[in-house]
Amino acid sequence: MKILMYAVLEPEKKYIREWSAKTGVEVKCVAERLDAKTVEWAQGFDGIDFQQTQPLEPVVYQKLHEYGIKQLTARMVGYDMIDFDLAKKYELTVTNVPAYSPRAIAEMGLTQALRLVRKLGYYDQRMDNLDFRWAGLESTEIYNLTVGIIGAGHIGGATAQLYSALGAKVIAVDPIHQVELSPYLEYTDLDTLLKTADIVTVHTPLDESTANLFNSETFKKMKDTAYLINMARGGIVNADDLIAALQNKEIAGAALDTLADEGQFFEKQATPEEIPEDYKTLRAMPNVLISPHSAFYTDTAMKNMVAMGLDDVVAIVNGKRPQFEVYK
């Protein structure tokens, strides 16, 4: 059996070699993402594995079907880059890796929230100008705050446990109420969460119901002292409306691990011409933190996402049911 892995990061290769040695399955790694040109490299392979946020072009589905490939395995949580109608048309089973390391992303969100709450961006701005005074930057402590989680799945659940351990009150919105999370959070509705939470942290998939969930109306419902943490997908937050809300002091700050237009410049050495204006505006604000979709990037996460993704490829190629099939 031969598998082609797209968009392989250098640190992943160690774990790929370990998995290949353990299973006896041949794996070829390429750095390029899966697109209309690179899909041709899949000819002669039994399965593929990829990670990217850019949408797959229609020809990708057609070519994979022609090559006899039966699956699309995204070694990541999100799957909004996949057109499920085309996947169904070309008989491609879709899998993802929903829980490679929920703690990795939960810890990153907490880290950024703590930076915002303690107003470290403002201190950095002052110290860059040799101003070492702390007047006007009094902050608070996490146990005094209410944290609202939108999407209490694997990552949201891990997030709840971290904030709860620090003494915060945690509330959450999710269509599925998991009884095992009851020691850490209380479920509520979205309007109540927005009006109540001091930190709103987002861990939900991007789909028709969550696209532009955070817009001008949403921000008006939030406290003007509240912080938005988006560790999910950029398209959930309307960047222009976020900028306006920050400029109008409708919310206190934001931490973003993802942007709607990140495909233009994330994960590469970009040129100045490739940088969009919304990024420039947000990046210049001392109360905004941006990371390049790197919240997942830990050794534990990479090891698990490699093994879990490849295991599902093998299962499908062998005619078995994968562990992490995505139904839509």
* Spatial contact of 67 and 47, defined as CB atoms under 8 Å apart: no
CA 203 from centre of chain: 8
DSSP for 94-114, please give it.
Answer: EE--TTS-HHHHHHHHHHHHH
Q: Which of 40, 262, 283, 325 is catalytic?
A: 262
Q: Which of 75, 203, 233, 250 is catalytic?
A: 233
The reply to whether 233 belongs to the active site is yes
The reply to whether 321 belongs to the active site is no
Q: Which of 75, 115, 203, 293 is catalytic?
A: 293
CA 113 to each of CA 66, 82, 142, 159, 185: distance values in angstroms, whole numbers, following the listed order: 47, 31, 9, 11, 18
Q: What is the CA radius of gyration of the chain?
A: 21
* Spatial contact of 50 and 33, defined as CB atoms under 8 Å apart: yes
Q: Which amino acid is at 158?
A: A
Of 81, 77, 75, nearest in space to 58 by CA: 81
Distance in angstroms (rounded) separating the CA atoms of residues 229 and 255: 5
**Tokens in use for 69?**
């490939």
Distance in angstroms (rounded) separating the CA atoms of residues 279 and 319: 45
Distance in angstroms (rounded) separating the CA atoms of residues 31 and 37: 13
Angle between helices 12-23 and 299-317 (to 10 degrees): 40
CA 87 from centre of chain: 22
Distance in angstroms (rounded) separating the CA atoms of residues 100 and 78: 12
Of 124, 304, 153, nearest in space to 231 by CA: 153
The reply to whether 103 belongs to the active site is no
Active site residues: 233, 262, 293
